[in-house]
């Protein structure tokens, strides 16, 4: 079934009198998710760093780019598949790693909801270190869909090695190392609601199930939530440097992707030391305020990488048209972050499936009407900047 067929399901469902169960437009989804969540949870997932200007700029950046449509192509069949490390993925989108996502789910199992949606749609998921279900359970829920594991590298190297080897054993296909969040940025909404301590305790399943983590706790404290959170706080957040990369590389034969690389020089240097993939992201504006929109940093990185390794991208993607623009700029695959969290909030697994299918349907239909039926054709599309940065 073509991704765009989801449009027909919604139309004909509407004709039969059954309205779509979840909002289709992103703005409506956002409002519904906000209404469904307690204020402190909403503030955490929707909020960002500082006055959130970078977060807003991430979204607005997409509106400054447009594709020149091509006619008489007869793009009745579209192929949105991409290759990632030799794995053929049916679509070019993936679920970005979202920690603590369980707090947005009615049943607390947001990671499992996302993994089941990944299994149902074939959309790859990057499972966060900070999950409420152990990475093995999340991996099982992915079914046949390949998953990637995101590593928040702990200070304890043995614990890092243990997490990576568990991810390997659970069948994850790559390790995504996040570089930009070894400490949290200045997040006024969280500081105002003072909810961070409660959030921290909610997503430590990968730690409490880890033999290295458990061994570091006195036996009498292994089931004590306070001791677990304290132990976690003492190991979380290794401010990695270039000198750590050979060690990271030595942990696994799986491909390693670095998340948060936005400078061309950093991308080149990472490839020189054997990194297998670059992930352009500013963490959705949650870490550094006042920075450039992530999309505006993508072209330089794509040019620097020059096709040597895949370039993943996220931050600000809200629709199928955003996906198409990022692909036309050279991203290999495009990450969906907050929209899928809102899907969890409004409908659990079904909500995430709806969000993913809506984004894919829009991308598919857009490629058809623009006469750009494949990802390869998108790469050669005439993409024009339509406004200045200060618009
Ligand atoms: C609630 C929340 C939790 C996140 N947790 C993680 C995480 O555990 N690991 C990580 O690498 N990125 C994390 N991110 C960042 C996302 O992977 C992604 O970079 C970001 O959501 C993209 O921005 P957007 O959602 O505005 O499109 C998180 C984002 C949100 C919204
Ligand atoms: C103490 C660090 C917690 C990070 C939580 C997950 C995340 O990446 C986020 O953006 O929030």
The stretch 44-54 carries a mean pLDDT of 97
Q: Which helix (H) or strand (E) holds 170?
A: none
Q: Which residues are annotated as a binding site for glyoxylate?
A: 44, 152, 187, 283, 286
Task: Kindly state the greatest CA–CA separation across the chain.
Answer: 72
> Is this model's pTM higher than 0.90 or not?
yes
pLDDT band at 23 (very low <50, low <70, confident <90, very high): very high
Confirm if 287 and 306 have CB atoms less than 8 A apart.
Answer: no
Confirm if 332 and 308 have CB atoms less than 8 A apart.
Answer: no
Lowest mean pLDDT, pick from 29-43, 90-104, 192-206, 315-329: 192-206
Given a cut of 80, is residue 67 above it in pLDDT?
yes
20 alpha carbon – ligand 2 mean position (Å): 33
Q: Which residue owns the Cα nearest ligand 2 atom 9?
A: 99
Q: Which residue owns the Cα nearest ligand 1 atom 28?
A: 98
Given a cut of 80, is residue 45 above it in pLDDT?
yes
pLDDT band at 192 (very low <50, low <70, confident <90, very high): confident
Report which bound ligand comes closest to the CA of 46: 1
89 alpha carbon – ligand 1 mean position (Å): 22
Structure tokens at 114: 């996302």
Rounded CA separation 277/175 (Å): 10
Rounded CA separation 302/260 (Å): 14
| Residue 196 pLDDT | 64
The pLDDT tens digits of the residues spanning 272-318 come to 999 999 999 999 999 999 999 999 999 999 999 999 999 999 999 99
Question: Which residues does ligand 2 sit against, CB inside 6 Å?
Answer: 99-100, 130, 181, 184, 236, 283, 286
User: What is the DSSP annotation of 332-355?
Assistant: SEEEE-HHHHHHHHHHHHHHHHHH
Q: Which residue owns the Cα nearest ligand 1 atom 18?
A: 283
Q: Which residue owns the Cα nearest ligand 2 atom 8?
A: 99
Domain boundaries, the chain: 5-66+78-380
| Residue 13 pLDDT | 84
Confirm if 105 and 113 have CB atoms less than 8 A apart.
Answer: yes
Rounded CA separation 368/235 (Å): 49
pLDDT band at 2 (very low <50, low <70, confident <90, very high): very high
Given a cut of 60, is residue 390 above it in pLDDT?
no
Q: Which residue owns the Cα nearest ligand 2 atom 3?
A: 184
Report which bound ligand comes closest to the CA of 126: 1
Kindly state which CATH superfamily the domain 5-66+78-380 is placed in.
Aldolase class I (3.20.20.70)
Ligand 1 within 6 A of CB of 283: yes
| Residue 86 pLDDT | 98
Rounded CA separation 47/72 (Å): 44
Report DSSP state, residue 205. H
Lowest mean pLDDT, pick from 188-202, 257-271, 368-382: 188-202
221 alpha carbon – ligand 2 mean position (Å): 25
Given a cut of 80, is residue 90 above it in pLDDT?
yes
The pLDDT tens digits of the residues spanning 306-317 come to 999 999 999 999
Task: Please tell me whether residue 109 adopts helix, strand or coil conformation.
Answer: coil
Structure tokens at 301: 């990185």
Which one of 184, 198, 203 would you pick to mutate in the ligand 2 pocket, going by the greatest count of ligand atoms within 8 A of its CB?
A: 184
CB neighbour class for 61 (10 Å; exposed up to 12, middle 13-18, buried from 19)? buried
Backbone phi, then psi, for 371, in 5-degree steps? Answer: 70, 35
Annotated catalytic sites, by residue?
A: 283
Percent of the chain having pLDDT more than 90?
Answer: 91
Lowest mean pLDDT, pick from 48-62, 185-199, 335-349: 185-199
Ligand 1 within 6 A of CB of 97: yes
The pLDDT tens digits of the residues spanning 124-182 come to 999 999 999 999 999 999 999 999 999 999 999 999 999 999 999 999 999 999 999 99
Report which bound ligand comes closest to the CA of 104: 1
363 alpha carbon – ligand 1 mean position (Å): 22
With CA atoms as reference, report the closest residue to 148 among 237, 77, 87, 71. 87
């Amino acid at each position: 079934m073509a991704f765009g067929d989801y449009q027909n399901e919604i139309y004909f469902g509407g004709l039969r009198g059954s309205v779509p169960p979840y909002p289709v437009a992103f703005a409506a989804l956002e409002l519904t998710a906000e209404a469904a969540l307690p204020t402190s949870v909403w503030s955490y997932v929707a909020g960002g760093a500082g006055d959130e200007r970078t977060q807003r700029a991430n979204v607005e950046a997409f509106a400054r780019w447009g594709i020149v449509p091509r006619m008489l192509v007869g793009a009745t069949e579209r192929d949105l598949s991409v290759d990632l490390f030799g794995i053929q993925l049916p679509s070019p989108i993936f679920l970005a790693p979202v920690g603590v996502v369980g707090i947005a789910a009615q049943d607390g199992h947001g990671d499992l909801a996302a993994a089941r949606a990944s299994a149902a749609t074939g959309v790859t998921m990057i499972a966060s270190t900070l999950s409420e279900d152990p990475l093995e359970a999340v991996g099982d829920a992915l079914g046949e869909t390949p998953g990637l594991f995101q590593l928040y590298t702990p200070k304890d190297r043995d614990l890092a090695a243990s997490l990576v080897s568990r991810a390997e054993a659970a069948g994850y296909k790559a390790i995504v190392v996040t570089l930009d969040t070894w400490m949290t940025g200045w997040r006024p909404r969280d500081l105002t609601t003072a909810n961070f301590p409660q959030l921290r305790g909610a997503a430590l399943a990968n730690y409490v199930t880890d033999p290295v983590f458990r061994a570091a706790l006195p036996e009498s404290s292994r089931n004590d939530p306070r001791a677990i959170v304290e132990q976690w706080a003492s190991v979380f957040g290794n401010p990695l440097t270039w000198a750590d990369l050979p060690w990271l590389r030595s942990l696994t034969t799986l491909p390693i992707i670095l998340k948060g690389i936005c400078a061309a020089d950093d991308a080149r240097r990472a490839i020189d030391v054997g990194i297998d993939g670059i992930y352009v992201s500013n963490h959705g504006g949650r870490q550094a305020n006042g920075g450039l929109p992530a999309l505006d940093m993508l072209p330089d990185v794509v040019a620097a990488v020059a096709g040597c390794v895949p370039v993943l991208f996220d931050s600000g993607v809200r629709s199928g048209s955003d996906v198409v623009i990022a692909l036309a700029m050279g991203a290999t695959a495009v990450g969906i972050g907050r929209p899928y969290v809102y899907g969890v909030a409004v409908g659990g697994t079904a909500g995430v499936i709806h969000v993913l299918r809506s984004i894919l349907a829009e991308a598919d239909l857009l490629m058809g009407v623009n006469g750009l039926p494949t990802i390869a054709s998108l790469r050669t599309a005439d993409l024009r900047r339509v406004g200045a940065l200060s618009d």
